[in-house]
Structure 1
Amino acid sequence: MANEARDARHRQRQDEIILAARRCFRRQGFHAASMARLAEEANLSVGQIYRYFTNKEAIIEEIVRRIIDARLAHMEETASVANLPQLLASRALHAEEDDALMLEVAAEATRNPVVARMLVDADERMFSQACLSVKKAHPALSDERIRASVELLAVLIEGTSFRRLTPQKASAERLHALYQQLNEQLFKTEDS
């Protein structure tokens, strides 16, 4: 029982550090946010943070893991590429803060090979799961066609995340119709 309480307190403290880090990283970016600033945001000492995370990259890795876990769970909940045109048209694919943090990860990955590896690993998790979901929904498609379709969808989804930073230039209704046409082309059987 004492171990369970200790583990629960440990997880709670990690959650508090992650929330503080998310706020800090959103304001200053990963590269500019120091451990001292993060500790101040979390109302802890730097030493206390090091009890839970070995370094800033470990915090970034945990943030990325949680974002990807949430995205995979969302993918499982929706479980259909049929919903994708509406989500793309409304720019409501993921939580806006998560999109912004993943953009920060991408920027940091250009400077930091450890973070670049995290991004590659996160992409592999998402890509593999997306391929499995598409295979389940469209078993007649070849694996090569599925990989190509998922790659194109990844470009659309990631581009939509970036485009969220700017005003939408076309109506959501018109975009929905175009995304729907694209979706139908991507997932029609190869012999049709």
Structure 2
Amino acid sequence: MSSKLEARQKARQDEIITAARRCFRSHGFHAASMSQIAAEAKLSVGQIYRYFSNKDAIIEEMIRRIIDNRIAEMSGKAQVDAIPQILAWRVTLSEDDDALMLEMSAEATRNPQVAAMLAQADARMFENACANVKRDCPHLSDERIRCCVEVVAVMMEGTFYRRLTPQKVPPEQLEKLYREITTMLFTAR
């Protein structure tokens, strides 16, 4: 396949994903239809099916892109020291991605295929986070690293949800507490 054709196909897939993101944010995954996505992308439904076999394939590509972006952002950076600030100040790479991940989680309660996609994405994120912690904290056992990553994942995911509500405690105070928690987590015993 020529690189010009590949570039055109990639651009069309990007347009479809962008349209789907808007539809999913407006209507939710479950309620958004392929015809709505097609209208948003200014394509026919048949044209979309040339690039994606169904709505789940669009969701799968969206999840892959979000996770790839998050993994790329985590790579090469010292993550452990940044965790308290990220949590306390509710820092996000993309509010839109966070909202879509919440939507996907809701869809996963109804759709076993989406649940499987999220489980696979979570496994990728988890293994990548473990590798980063191992790099930053070589003194910790693999078991301890996995436990730490699980606890931090729960805190991060809770923060995604908590962004929907006003923060009730000053971030400066929370950052101190999160620093205590992460110091305790990442200290070898």
**What's the TM-score bracket when you normalise by the shorter of the two chains?**
over 0.9
What per-residue deviation string (whole Å, max 9, x for no partner) do you get for residues 103-154 of structure 1?
0110000000110000000000000000111111111111111111000000
Contact 1:93 1:157 in 2 (8 A): no
- Number of aligned residue pairs: give it: 189
Q: Distance in 1 between matches of 2:78 and 2:180?
A: 19
What per-residue deviation string (whole Å, max 9, x for no partner) do you get for residues 19-67 of structure 1?
0100110010000000001101110000000000000000000000000
Following superposition, the deviation at residue 77 of structure 1 comes to 4.5
RMSD: 1.0
TM-score (norm 2): 0.98
**Structure 2 unaligned runs (5+)?**
none
Q: Which residue of 2 aligns with 1:40?
A: 39
Q: Which residue of 2 aligns with 1:52?
A: 51
Contact 1:91 1:160 in 2 (8 A): yes
Q: Which residue of 2 aligns with 1:175?
A: 174
Q: Distance in 2 between matches of 1:148 and 1:53?
A: 37
Q: Which residue of 2 aligns with 1:117?
A: 116
Contact 1:135 1:141 in 2 (8 A): yes
What per-residue deviation string (whole Å, max 9, x for no partner) do you get for residues 40-98 of structure 1?
11100000000000000000000000000011011114332101111111111331110
Give the number of the structure whose residues are more often helix, by fraction: 1
Q: Distance in 2 between matches of 1:89 and 1:67?
A: 22
Give the 4+ runs in structure 1 shifted more than 4 A.
none
Contact 1:39 1:46 in 2 (8 A): yes
Q: Which amino acid aligns with 1:15?
A: D
Percent of aligned positions with the same letter in both sequences? Answer: 60
Q: Distance in 2 between matches of 1:110 and 1:77?
A: 34
Q: Which residue of 1 aligns with 2:26?
A: 27
Q: Secondary structure at the match of 1:31?
A: coil
**Structure 1 unaligned runs (5+)?**
none
Q: Secondary structure at the match of 1:36?
A: helix
Q: Which residue of 2 aligns with 1:75?
A: 74
